Structure 1
């Protein structure tokens, strides 16, 4: 798994925070090696990306040295569009909250990149909109807090909110400080140790317009963002990305994703995705079936009932699951369950 890369704007935000307090990085007790790394990163253009692990070291050290557990919130108070690079400018000049969210989904790699960076998922339930990320690894919890705080703070600058559009904030990790401090900052209910990271928005907030919408500038910024994305190396092949997305969707949503959803997350058309998969010798339906069967075997080991497994895998009933499994493996579900569970028993 490749290391996460984050915007150099985050480092510059930290430097500005120190500057406002009359401090220099050299005064915070960093090692010579850390200072050398910091000097290199701070010399790079604002819209490039650098190590998340170094940033974690810097922030955790700063929290301890300055005795400031709420440092993330204090950093976010200085956020400006340029700290998010071209994506920040696109959000500030978009025509609505909904359009800004679309740009976030399409160009998220310009902010946080790497194979461990899972694209944001967007879905609606009744009158609420959910922006969602899964928990990949506890070591990335700090970047979620940093990004959530900066996104919310920047949004309040860009959009003229009469009332907060945020209903709830969900974190998958444990709270780093008293929950009331989070709720005072976000001005909404904040939950921890949840199934996933989520920002829950009122649906009627999507039409709110920014104070400086500029469609002509957005056209130029979109071209710039597309060029920047095109220059990035593929973290994984399209086949690997689709396999990982389908497997993750089956685990988290207990259903199968549509090809339209997968194409949207990968920022391409359905036709383009189909062509790319064909070039790799497979198709979307074949990937779905393979990942279903692998997930089926994982659930068989867990001793789940066949009806429940069928439901989680998007089959109409257990008969449909049994037929699909037999056609794919040449083995009945009963024999597969016995063999898999025997294998697990022998491992023990």
Structure 2
């Protein structure tokens, strides 16, 4: 699974927003060509997933034709735990904000999935907790907008927040609407064109408890989530699993993985892994090189120098990195860096 997949709950939120305005999403003229696909998505269980590309198209057309730049916020106001599937229910029954964050990190791919999906990283800085993930591509701006708004709105419901726990929000992309609209919805400082995406919380907010914590139900829901993850992995090819694991290793470990390390994560020997790749006319070296180049583009967006990127990705020098990128993309690194700035 390479394309980003998002929860069908997001499509349900879109439908709920339209119904509130007295509109039927399956009867809108500007979405006439998408009716068949919309009917299929909306008929599927709320906890399954569908194409982000299709969701992006539907939302952009809706924003344009209904003249609603704040559509994401209007949709997020309808959010309920079931829109995030089993993970939403787990979060709503957790004993604290800290435990909810733990489960979000563990089962996030049940909500957003695909080779470009990134795992949340959590770290403490003074009296703040930062939930952060890197900027992958500008085309994913909308899913970040949607997910931020839904997470914050759902947290307000689950934990009955009487005071703001957010210190700030960081978006790696440019603002999609007026700054006032963001500040009004989130009630905190909102920054754009940052090096990564971040939710910054007060440290003491980790102890906040939801209205309906339920440890026994959490145990059952966790088993269900584990089974869902295992089932999903069983349908992925070895090649897809390797791309995801290598990409994740590069992001989180700040170093280049060896085949032995990835094989250990897959619970097989490196010799077996190499043999299986050979049978698929692939190789660990080829997969590693593709993911290094993808990571290179992410680091270019963060304005790292070329020599820093070369060291980070395990190349002997800047020239070696430049040759590898030219072979991968047909462009020079300087051409790509300028293109990303435009």
**TM-score, scaled relative to structure 1:** 0.76
Superposed counterparts of 1:80-91, under 5 Å = 80-91=80-91
Q: Contact 2:96–2:208 at 8 Å: present in 1 too?
A: yes
* Residues 1:17 and 1:280: Cα distance change in structure 2 (over 3 Å): same
For residue 280 of structure 1, what is the aligned residue in structure 2?
A: 273
For residue 249 of structure 2, what is the aligned residue in structure 1?
A: 246
Q: Distance in 2 between matches of 1:199 and 1:180?
A: 18
Q: Distance in 1 between matches of 2:323 and 2:116?
A: 33
Q: Contact 1:159–1:210 at 8 Å: present in 2 too?
A: yes
What displacement does 1:161 show?
2.2
What displacement does 1:177 show?
1.0
For residue 151 of structure 2, what is the aligned residue in structure 1?
A: 151
Q: Distance in 2 between matches of 1:56 and 1:120?
A: 22
Q: Distance in 2 between matches of 1:131 and 1:114?
A: 20
Q: Contact 2:8–2:46 at 8 Å: present in 1 too?
A: yes
What displacement does 1:39 show?
0.7
Q: 1:275 aligns to what SS in structure 2?
A: coil
Q: 2:30 aligns to what SS in structure 1?
A: coil
For residue 40 of structure 1, what is the aligned residue in structure 2?
A: 40
User: C-alpha root-mean-square deviation of aligned residues, in Å?
Assistant: 3.5
Q: 1:244 aligns to what SS in structure 2?
A: helix
Q: 2:175 aligns to what SS in structure 1?
A: coil
Q: Contact 1:238–1:277 at 8 Å: present in 2 too?
A: no
Superposed counterparts of 1:177-196, under 5 Å = 177-196=177-196
For residue 2 of structure 2, what is the aligned residue in structure 1?
A: 2
* Residues 1:281 and 1:211: Cα distance change in structure 2 (over 3 Å): same
What displacement does 1:31 show?
4.0
Q: Contact 1:249–1:257 at 8 Å: present in 2 too?
A: no
Q: Distance in 1 between matches of 2:321 and 2:19?
A: 60
Q: Which has the larger radius of gyration?
A: 1
For residue 125 of structure 2, what is the aligned residue in structure 1?
A: 125
- The answer for unaligned runs of 5 or more in structure 1 is 264-269, 315-324
What displacement does 1:159 show?
0.3
**TM-score, scaled relative to structure 2:** 0.77
- The answer for unaligned runs of 5 or more in structure 2 is 276-283, 300-304, 333-342
Superposed counterparts of 1:103-118, under 5 Å = 103-118=103-118
Superposed counterparts of 1:1-348, under 5 Å = 2-232=2-232, 233-234=235-236, 236=239, 239-249=242-252, 255-256=254-255, 273=265, 275-276=267-268, 278=270, 279-280=272-273, 304=307, 313=312
Deviation per CA, 1:227-267: give whole Å up to 9, x if none.
Answer: 111111337555443432333347xxxx54999xxx9xxxx
Q: Contact 1:239–1:280 at 8 Å: present in 2 too?
A: no
Q: Distance in 1 between matches of 2:139 and 2:123?
A: 26
